[in-house]
Amino acid sequence: MARSNLFLRAKIRHIVLTRTADRLTLGMLGRRHRAQPIEVRTVELCIPQWPQAYDGVRIAHLTDFHLGELMHVGQALDAVERVACLKPDMVACTGDVVDLDLHGMGAEDLLSAMGSMEAPLGRFLVLGNHDHLDDGHMLAAMASMRGLQVLHGAVVPVGDASDPLLVGGVDWASTVRALDQRVAELPQTPHLLLAHNPKAFHAAARRDIPLTLSGHTHGGQVAWKGKPRANVSFAHRLSAGLYQRNGCSLFVSVGAGAWFPLRVHCAPEVLVITVRRGAVQ
């Protein structure tokens, strides 16, 4: 199958910025990066509009593994296993499962691990920009076959059929305008929105969606010590942690993986988020 221009540009960027930087340091940069452990963090959010019936729900938020040269599948599987031990109610993966190549990097094993996690409220995935570089349709099909529900502009009810929690998801888009359109086209207003790009929050807040989960930014990968939002993710004002607008909330994970072998004061992470109904703290 012919590679897209986006894939080829990403491959060139990877060779120039990632491989060359590693070689110039005689491999030290890559070794240090791969030795950096993925943290399992627990976060508690208070959301005023969150449905009372789902007060205390625990969501495993996994994002930006970027399986490839900088993230071996064994490291990703270990992080998923540690999250699974915390017994979340739901699994929410917000994309960039792979970095460049879909095949040969262990994507099937990682998708199987996420899809087999015990999660009574379901296991969901939305695609990120890197997922589309090689073959987004194939990745989505692989995820569906392995127990993950891929959300392409859908809203699904979970939990109590008479009082469900509504989970929605939108596919990758790069611009605020395109994401506004995707959110506007959702058939219902969900309680929880999954979107790889945090720019979807602008439309989510206008639509009164209580909580949006995103990734994509990696928190810049380099941040000021103790100030995660003071980072080099210059293209994203919504780059790390919790943001609030009009009673609605966005949480941006800095993700588990990387596109460049350097993280400073921005440790790779997977999350278990406990969501409670209540006033913003």
- How many Å apart are CA 156 and CA 259, to the nearest integer? 32
pLDDT of residue 15: 83
Mean pLDDT for the chain overall: 94
Instruction: Average the pLDDT over each of 49-53, 91-95, 142-146, 225-229 and give the range with the smallest value.
Output: 225-229
- pLDDT for 141-164, tens place per residue? 999 999 999 999 999 999 999 999
For the segment 108-117, the average pLDDT, to the nearest whole number, is 98
For the segment 28-54, the average pLDDT, to the nearest whole number, is 92
**Domain boundary assignment for the chain:** 5-277
Percent of the chain with pLDDT over 90: 81
Q: How far is CA 250 from CA 67, 143, 188, 243, in A?
A: 25, 25, 19, 5
- pLDDT for 52-86, tens place per residue? 999 999 999 999 999 998 999 999 999 999 999 99
Which amino acid is residue 196, in one-letter code?
A: H
Q: How confident is the model at residue 234 (pLDDT cuts 50, 70, 90)?
A: confident
pTM: 0.95
According to DSSP, the residues that pair with 212 across neighbouring strands are 193, 250
Q: How confident is the model at residue 35 (pLDDT cuts 50, 70, 90)?
A: confident
- pLDDT for 186-206, tens place per residue? 999 999 999 999 999 999 999
Four-point Cα dihedral 213, 136, 102, 89, nearest 10: 30
- pLDDT for 251-272, tens place per residue? 999 999 998 888 999 999 999 9
- pLDDT for 163-190, tens place per residue? 999 999 999 999 999 999 999 999 999 9
pLDDT of residue 2: 55
- At the fourth CATH level, which superfamily is domain 5-277? Metallo-dependent phosphatases (3.60.21.10)
